[in-house]
């Protein structure tokens, strides 16, 4: 039976916050006899220890006078070693150091900002630590003008919650409320978001609610109920969202959602591996995340919530009023996989589920995802649901992202595995489709810097991570005989730093021009911007397909040739005009003449063309 939101998720405020000239603490530590606040100075020396008072529901609380923001502390349970606060808003010395009391004041300049349009997102995925040589929030601010001129309107930050060490993708986070200190902490993140809004760019936070990292994770020191053996995930016991004590754990997540939107002015969230957020109760945590995110927004500012979810599950984006969870979008990786199979030849692992044929690519484009209930050979069971009736903007498509680059053993960009012509063709399809496009940082100039898997764990855990990483790829035939880079090595991290200087070479400049012109077309062409537009896709023989966009009485054809030569005759009753072709020399191609002669389109090798028809 469904419970009310209050019954499942409401809990008293936890953590530490300033109240006038005092600081108040509240800690959830059920089953324990006492909790002390241990105060520290700036040199990490203990100043004093103060006991908190037992409260209802296994909490301990109290206020200490003559303290303010900047106060540093740890918490000691039952007289044991002091640990950081799991609800800490700041960890200036890392996940093992003292927590810090911080406020939400900033002096925001974005009162005009109305938030992103969920039906018109162009997402740019960024790892803060490798996006610039400095690797900080503030160092990325000068790059915002580049994104605006490119045509990007949404910046998606890989997880910024505090993780161990200085080098990590962010998915080993343990302090959900504390922006990573080496990135610039709370102040730096607020400055970046404020600056992004000034450039007309929304900011999404990649939030990880399916697990906590192993290093610096002190949750079990406070309560055994943060996790449950009822469910299991690839990371071990699941986070407890539906068993004893789950009310406080759900509150941890929902308070975090509120914080990003309210205190940092973030425009929404990307939920990592939502299929691993296990909740057998009602309402489901995902539905509550959406509800809480929208409620936290000020003055009706628009907020979007997008999930990474491998199930191809339509319920995720079905409105709550129709029995769904009400998310705005979902990562749909089937198109990426089909394109890699077609152009790069990938066939191991989950790629065995894809043919990359023109027929299957067209089916994926018609539907948004390919698997709608068929059996997956890789998984051994049926996958997917029928997406009929869902708006295409709900599907987030890419031709590369942090996972698809970084989860390859050598962090190879797409440019390492497909020809420049294929890259241009894939890019044209991505940006001309009706689906929400996601770009991985540097993609707009076909960056050559790898994005490797890197960590900065303690020596014992780091050794296990290195061994596990190399074992993971031992069974793949294409990687045999090569040693996978050590995630713990600093060089693995520094090699992943994006080289913006590449933009100065001619080949990169051509691709950059292609992206700018395609995104300008996406934003201005009535056929592409119409909310009443329709689309269809079909194969043009075994090695080519066409995506049709229709609106306002006009049709835009995006024709993609996989290989060989294509001669395609268009409707003789329509007036046809070439809009662009990917092999134009201005983009780095070698075909100076228009591929359209009369109503006949001629493409050779991997290439794409956009043609406008008017009957």
Dist CA 12 CA 28 (whole Å): 9
Does the annotation flag 270 for ligand binding?
Answer: yes
Residue 402, annotated as binding a ligand: yes
- Residue 52 carries which DSSP code? P
CB count in 10 Å sphere of residue 386: 11
Would the annotation count 405 as a binding residue?
yes
Radius of gyration over alpha carbons of the chain, in Å?
A: 25
E strand or H helix at 397: strand 395-397
521 is in an annotated binding site: no
Report the alpha-carbon distance of residue 429 to residue 609 in Å, rounded.
9
**Known binder of ligand: residue 406?**
yes
In 3-state terms, what secondary structure has residue 400? coil
The DSSP output letter for 315 is G
Nearest in space to 549 (alpha carbons), one of 540, 537, 538? 537
Nearest to 203 by CA among 267, 159, 252, 111: 267
Residue 544: closest CA among 416, 425, 433, 369: 425
Is 335 annotated among the ligand-binding residues?
yes
Residues 6+ apart with CB under 8 A from 56: none
Q: Does 327 show up as a binding residue in the annotation? A: no
Element (H, E) at 549: strand 544-551
How far CA 103 is from CA of 20, 48, 78, 93, 175, in Å, comes to 12, 23, 29, 18, 16
Phi, psi angle pair for 118, to nearest 5°: -65, -20
- What are 234's two structure tokens? 């690839």
CA dihedral 53, 54, 59, 60 (to 10 degrees): 20
Active-site choice (272, 288, 346, 353)? 272
Q: Which of 100, 194, 308, 353 is catalytic?
A: 308
308 a catalytic residue: yes
Structure tokens, 230: 């009822």
Residue 532 assigned to a binding site? no
Instruction: Quote the DSSP letter at residue 7.
Output: H
* Bridge partners of residue 613, in order along the sequence: 555, 576
Whether 206 and 157 have beta carbons less than 8 Å apart is answered as yes
* Residue at token pair 């002390």: 36
Is 403 marked as binding a ligand? yes
Q: Is 562 within any annotated ligand binding site?
A: no
Nearest CA to 277 among 304, 320, 309?
309
For residue 389, give both structure tokens.
């009736």
DSSP state of 416: G
Residue 16 assigned to a binding site: no
554 marked as part of a ligand binding site: no
Asked if 149 is an active-site residue, the reply is no
Residue set of the binding site for substrate? 270-275, 333-337, 402-407
Q: Give the residue numbers of the binding site.
A: 270-275, 333-337, 402-407
Positions annotated as catalytic residues are 272, 308
């Amino acid at each position: 039976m469904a419970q009310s939101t209050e019954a499942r998720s409401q809990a008293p405020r936890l953590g530490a916050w300033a109240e006038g000239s005092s600081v108040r603490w509240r800690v959830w530590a059920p089953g324990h006899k006492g909790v002390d606040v241990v105060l520290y100075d700036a040199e990490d020396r203990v100043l004093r220890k103060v006991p908190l008072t037992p409260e209802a529901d296994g909490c301990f609380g109290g206020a200490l006078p003559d303290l303010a923001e900047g106060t540093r502390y740890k918490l000691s349970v039952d007289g044991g070693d002091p640990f950081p606060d799991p609800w800490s808003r700041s960890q200036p010395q890392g996940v093992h150091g003292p927590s810090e009391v911080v406020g939400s004041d900033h002096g925001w300049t974005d009162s005009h900002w109305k938030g992103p349009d969920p039906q018109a997102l162009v997402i740019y995925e960024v790892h803060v630590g490798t996006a610039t040589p400095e690797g900080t929030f503030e160092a990325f601010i000068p790059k915002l003008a580049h994104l605006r001129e490119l045509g990007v309107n949404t910046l998606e930050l890989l997880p910024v919650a505090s993780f161990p060490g200085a080098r990590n993708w962010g998915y080993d986070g343990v302090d959900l409320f504390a922006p990573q200190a080496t990135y610039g902490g709370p102040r730096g993140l607020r400055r970046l978001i404020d600056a992004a809004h000034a450039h007309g760019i929304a900011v999404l936070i990649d939030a990880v609610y399916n697990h906590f990292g192993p290093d610096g994770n002190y949750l079990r020191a406070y309560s055994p109920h943060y996790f449950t053996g009822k469910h299991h995930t690839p990371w071990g016991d699941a986070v407890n969202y539906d068993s004893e004590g789950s009310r406080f754990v759900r509150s941890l997540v929902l308070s975090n959602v509120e914080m990003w939107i309210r205190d940092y002015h973030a425009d929404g969230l990307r939920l990592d591996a939502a299929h691993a957020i296990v909740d057998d109760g009602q309402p489901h945590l995902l539905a509550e995340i959406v509800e809480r995110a929208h409620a936290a927004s000020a003055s009706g500012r628009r907020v979007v919530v997008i999930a990474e979810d491998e199930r191809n599950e339509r319920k995720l984006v079905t409105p709550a009023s129709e029995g769904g969870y009400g998310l705005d979008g979902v990562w749909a990786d089937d198109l990426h996989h089909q394109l890699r199979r077609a152009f790069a030849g990938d066939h191991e692992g989950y790629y065995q589920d894809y043919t990359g044929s023109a027929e299957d690519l067209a089916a994926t484009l018609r539907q948004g995802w390919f698997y709608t209930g068929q059996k997956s050979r890789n998984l051994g069971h049926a996958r997917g649901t029928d997406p009929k009736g869902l708006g295409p903007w709900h599907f987030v498509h890419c031709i590369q992202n942090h996972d698809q680059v970084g989860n390859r053993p050598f962090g190879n960009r797409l440019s390492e595995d497909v020809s420049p012509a294929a890259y241009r063709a894939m890019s044209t399809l991505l940006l001309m489709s009706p689906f929400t496009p996601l770009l991985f940082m540097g993609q707009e100039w076909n960056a050559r810097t790898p994005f490797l898997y890197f960590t900065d764990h303690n020596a014992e855990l780091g050794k296990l991570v290195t061994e596990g990483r190399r074992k993971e790829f031992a069974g793949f035939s294409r990687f045999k005989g090569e040693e996978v880079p050590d995630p713990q090595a600093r060089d693995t991290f520094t090699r992943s730093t994006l080289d913006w200087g590449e933009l100065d070479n001619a080949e990169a400049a051509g691709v950059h021009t292609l992206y700018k012109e395609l995104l300008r077309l996406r934003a201005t062409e009535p056929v592409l911007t119409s909310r009443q537009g329709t689309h269809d896709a079909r194969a043009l023989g075994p090695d080519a397909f066409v995506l049709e966009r229709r609106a306002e009485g006009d049709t835009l054809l995006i024709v993609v040739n996989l290989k060989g030569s294509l001669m395609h005759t268009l409707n003789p009753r329509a007036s046809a005009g070439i809009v662009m072709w990917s092999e134009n020399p201005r983009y780095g191609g070698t075909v100076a003449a228009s591929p359209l002669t009369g109503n006949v389109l001629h493409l050779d090798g991997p290439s794409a063309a956009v043609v406008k028809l008017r009957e």
